[in-house]
Structure 1
């Protein structure tokens, strides 16, 4: 799974319209979020660092909810955008999610365990679980 890292609002118009998961490494305005939803109509999730997530307005939260876009809290630790514009969720993490799911761990237990073992936030792991649940069922 790939997460597109966007480090400035100037990048939004240049994004691929097929992007599904985006990490915003800057504090987005309402206008930035609207432009992002317009530029990437297939977007499923937007991830923001914890400090930025707390400043998102209620109107944007409602807009994203109506558009069925998940607003996630988290970071892309150790990612260097100058090398690659995508952060790749490791195959090991995806396999571990499947193993724990097969062992009948709850989604919350999986998210808690893997957020300590990997560089991913529990919100992102829960999002991955929601997408993978169709494949695992």
Structure 2
């Protein structure tokens, strides 16, 4: 399922890897619905534990329509990631166009109570074999 290329960003010793893939079986182009899954791995390369407490996504479709999504944790969890460990989850995104992009950030708290934002790398949502049209 996750056959797309990986996108990576590192902030303050926290590495975020995202691998999107198009879900043809859940998409219905005739009805204007394209669906992608994305697998996220968050690796703690820092010296102390961190807790992911919130997320923020900016989703942009091929027409330039931008939607912002905010919420606590990810997939119903607010995981604590120990040094040298990682946390992975999968989620999805429907769009009304055949291409788009996502970018965002996670709010983290370290063991000293410091709150900081970790970048989620920008990544493309593209139907395999389709011409990319992105504002």
- TM-score, structure 2 length as denominator? 0.25
RCO higher in 1 or 2 (8 Å CA, sep ≥ 6)?
A: 2
Q: Which has the higher strand share?
A: 2
Give the structure with the higher percent helix: 1
